[in-house]
Amino acid sequence: MKGIQEKFGSDKFEVLMLSVDAAFHMPGKSPLVGNRDKLQSQGVKWDNVLLPHGFDDAHRKFNLDGYGLTLVGPDGIVRGVDLYPERVQQLTAQLLWK
């Protein structure tokens, strides 16, 4: 996703990450700090929402049932669910160059 955002620009392609890994934090750190440190070490610059109850929160709040990418167009319409990065890139190109 980082490469796709760099290709299209963060002003045209924005990423929001829903992290369900609150239970898998670094020893000695809170889940919030551990998650932040891990993302910073990987150079992730987009917003990240830490869901404290993991997949239960993802399912209840967003009707998502697993790992995967969901693409929402600039018009707010969901354009794809459970996508691989290659498909996200194709769909994004189509949406931006209509």
Q: What is the CATH number of the domain that holds 6?
A: 3.40.30.10
In angstroms, rounded to a whole number, what is the distance separating the alpha carbons of residues 51 and 80? 22
CB-based contact 4:14 (threshold 8 Å): no
Q: What is the domain range of residue 73? A: 2-96
Phi/psi-derived region of residue 64, left when phi > 0, alpha when psi is between -120 and 50, beta in every other case: beta
Q: What is the pLDDT along the chain (98 residues), one digit of tens a residue?
A: 888 888 888 888 888 888 877 656 556 667 777 778 888 888 888 888 888 787 888 878 777 776 778 888 878 888 888 888 889 899 988 888 75
> Structure pTM?
0.67
Phi/psi-derived region of residue 9, left when phi > 0, alpha when psi is between -120 and 50, beta in every other case: left
When divided into structural domains, the chain yields a total of 1
Q: At 55, phi and psi to the nearest 5? A: -65, -25
